[in-house]
Structure formats: C-alpha cells, structure tokens
Amino acid sequence: METILAFLVLIGVLVWFHELGHFLFAKLFGVKVEVFSIGFGPVLLSKKWGETEYRISAVPLGGFVKLYGEEDAVDDPRAFSSKKNYQKIFIAFAGPLFNFLLAIFVFSLIFVVGRPTPSYVLKEPLVGYVVENSPAQKLGLQEGDLLLEINGKKVSTWKDVEGAVLESILKKEWKVGILRNSQRVILSGKVDLSKAGSFGAEPYIAPIVGRVLPGSPAEQVGIKEGDEILEVNGKKVKSWYSAAYYIKSAKENVIRLKIRRDGQIFEKLVVPVKDKNTGIPIIGVSPRIEVVKVKEPLGKAVFESLEKTKDLTVLSLKAVWGLITGGISVKTLGGPIAIAQLAGESAQQGLIAFLGMMAFISVQLAVFNLIPLPVLDGGLILLFLIESIRRKPLSPRFKENWQKVGFAIIIALSAFVILNDIVRLMTGNRL
C-alpha cells in the first residue's frame, strides 16, 4: 500500500508540474485551454473554473492539456493553430522546462534543509575494499590506493569520486590516477560500468554491526549492535565489505562468526537466508556508519542543484544515445512497475530520499519528452521547426500519419518496458 501511495504522489506531482508548464505558457500567449487533466481514460473528478475543465482521470500514467484549435486549424486569435511557430515551440517546450525547474527546486531544497550523509563521503578517497570482478578490480585498483583523478577529473573526497563515476558511467575507456606506495600511478583499461552496477572501489568501513534487523538470523543467535566481526568461517575480516563478501559467497549452510564484544571474543553459528530480491545469502545486519547532516547556504545550494541537474541531463542524453547505438541494452529500461518500486523504497528511507528520487525522475521525464518522436513534446517541436524552415504548414495528412506512427511507437515502447518490469520481478533482478 505504501508503494502504491508513494507512486501516485510521485506521478501526480511530476505530471502536474509538466502540464502546468504547457498551461501557463499557453495562457501567456493567449491560447484558450479547454482541459487540464491529470491522468488518462475515464474521468474520476471534474470541475470547470472559467473556461478550463480540470480533471483527475483513472489511469495515472500521464496527463494532458487540451488547447483550443490544437487539432484543427481555427481562424481565431485564441486558437493554438493561429499562433506563430515560435510561440507553439515555447508552449511545447514548457512541459519539459517545468520538469527541469522542479528538479532544480527540489535539489536546492534538499541541499538547504540538509541531507544525512555518511561521514566518509567527505574524506579523502582511500580505497578500503575492491569488489570482486568489479571494473575497479579489472583496472588494477588495490586496497590502500589513494584515488587522485578519474578520466581527467581530479577527486579529493569520496563525494568527488561519486560525481566523476557518474559522469563517466557510459565511457568504455577509463584512466584512473592513484597514489600507491608514495608513487603516482595511472591505471587504464576498458570498462563497461553500465553492466557492472557500480565502480567497485569502496571506502574503508569497520566491520562493526550498526543495526540488527528484527527477526533476522543474526538477532536469533544474539548478535548485537556494536559487535565487531573478526572472522567469517575462519577467514580474517579486514573491513565490512570483506565480511559481507565472505557471507554472501559462503557455500556452507551454517556460517561461523567470530565476534568481539566489550573486549571478549565469542563465536556465533548463523544460518543465513536468501534475500527475496537478489537471492544472495544474508544474516540481517548492517554496518555502523557515522552520519553527518550536510547543509548548504542558499546560493551554493542553487548552484549545486543546477550542476546536478545538468549532470543528470547529460547522463540521460548519453543513455538515450547508447540505447540508439546499441551501447546500452534495452533490457535496462524500466517502466511504471520499476518506478513504483523505487518510489516505495525511497519513501521508506524518508522524505529527503523520496524527494531526491522525485527530482531524479523529473529530469528523466524532461529528457524523455524532448526526444523528437511523434506524440512527445520533442516531436511537436520538430514539426514546428520544419514548418518554420519551410515557411508553410505541413499537410494535414502528413501530420495525421506522424501522430499514428507516434502512438504506435509509444504503445510498443510502453508494452516493452512493462514486460521488462515483469521479467525483473519474476527473476528477482533489480534495476
């Protein structure tokens, strides 16, 4: 129920802002707005204020603004068809623009209010663990390496590393500068991060239990917060990541843990269970991580939100290009079920996490709508640009066929991503 509610709130806000952009710019240029609808299909609620009917409809996967004279040429100064092409372009672009503005506003709000941040994010990027078979390991990174730069971008904190990796997520050739044994070393090689899920270079996190899940195998055998894990099945543990790796890769049905508590050493026998989403053996513990609340002054918050929105936009455009060229598998696409999952999970983590996810999806929605496909805002903008260059309208028959092609593409794409979502649910794979 929480997932459904979070999804409806998310989609409702994103669609409302998107359609509000079309609505306000239509009003700005004197176009009569006949309908403002959140959702498609059967009308659930309807109210007419002034000349516009406002609706909430049954299918909450989008919305629309119906403009007078949008479908037929009408000789009326208040008709959309009577407006200049540059005005039509602004009206079409206003929807994605408002999604960008929503993302900037939400990110700014998060930065000003403050978001809980692991303290290690602000520390120097000293590698404490390298994930097995990860891009970082394939490049040759080792525990104890100090990261200096990633693909030409200097990094001085783990926060910088996150940003550099995000910018380079679609790169195939990587160069990473490190400091190893007081010597500067350049590691280079081919990396496909889009399939790996993460870079694989992690900060040092002490193997100390921060939380024990209620009802978990760990709680059942008496593991407590503050316990330090020393060994897993006889293997010495250096960090939390190595403990987690030994647990998930254990072939035994019973895992033997050696722990330290208040200076005393104990042994615990734990029977792991498989995570319902990943199928990986877990015992139900998470690490102790110092968390600080990072706040930014308004000016810096706005600047950082602009930077983050720009980076996400560039990354989204690169992803679209990767899908077109085959560099990224179409199986990575997610639909409404995947979005609902993300909405529910982020809502469980708190308001800040939910707002951050909303801003992220808002950027994706803006970029998607600017793709020059029929039916999408980008397709309309393309038509109006062509008409401006030709200096005469396109034929009604061409526009009709253009719309039909657009609907066919969108229906096929929607069916594909929903099928993708269902397959992921059935197999336990996540985005």
DSSP annotation string for 113-181: H-EEEEGGGGS--BEEEE-TTSHHHHHT--TT-EEEEETTEE-SSHHHHHHHHHHTTT-SEEEEEEEET
Query: What pLDDT digit, counting tens, does each position of 161-172 carry?
Result: 988 888 887 788
For residue 250, the SS3 value is coil
Contact present, 40 and 61 (Cβ < 8 Å): yes
pTM for the whole thing? 0.75
Q: Which residues contact 269 (CB under 8 A, 6 or more apart)?
A: 221, 254, 255, 256, 257
Name the β-bridge partners of 64: 37
What's residue 413's pLDDT? Answer: 64
- Pick the range with the lowest mean pLDDT from 216-230, 336-350, 374-388: 336-350
Q: Is 19 a catalytic residue?
A: yes
- Give pairs for 74-78: CB < 8 Å, separation 24+: 77/30, 78/30, 78/31, 78/32
Tokens at 43, concatenated: 């009308």
Report the alpha-carbon distance of residue 104 to residue 359 in Å, rounded: 8
**pLDDT of 186 higher than 80:** yes
Contact present, 171 and 108 (Cβ < 8 Å): no
- What DSSP letter does each residue of 216-235 carry, written as one string? SHHHHTT--TTPEEEEETTE
Q: Which residue in 70, 65, 35, 67 sits closest to 49, CA to CA?
A: 35
**pLDDT of 402 higher than 50:** yes
Contact present, 406 and 376 (Cβ < 8 Å): yes
**pLDDT of 150 higher than 80:** yes
Give the H/E segment covering residue 423. helix 396-427
**pLDDT of 396 higher than 90:** no
Report the alpha-carbon distance of residue 369 to residue 360 in Å, rounded: 15
Residue 10 burial by CB count (10 A; 0-12/13-18/19+): exposed, middle or buried? Answer: buried
Residue 5: CB atoms within 10 A of its CB come to 12
Query: What pLDDT digit, counting tens, does each position of 289-305 carry?
Result: 888 888 889 999 999 99
Q: List the Cα angle 331/17/116 in 5-degree steps.
A: 70
What's residue 210's pLDDT? Answer: 92
Which of the following is catalytic: 2, 19, 304, 387? Answer: 19
What's residue 197's pLDDT? Answer: 65
What is the mean predicted confidence (pLDDT) over 181-186? 93
Cα–Cα distances (Å) from 293 to 112, 114, 162, in that order, read 11, 6, 18
What's residue 107's pLDDT? Answer: 95
Q: Which residues contact 69 (CB under 8 A, 6 or more apart)?
A: 31, 32, 76, 78, 79, 80, 81, 82
Q: Which residue in 279, 287, 289, 290 sits closest to 223, CA to CA?
A: 287
123: left (phi over 0), alpha (psi -120 to 50) or beta: beta
What is the mean predicted confidence (pLDDT) over 382-404? 83
Count of residues in the chain = 431
Q: Which residue in 116, 109, 145, 115 sits closest to 130, CA to CA?
A: 145
What's residue 48's pLDDT? Answer: 92
Residue 344: CB atoms within 10 A of its CB come to 18
**pLDDT of 414 higher than 70:** no
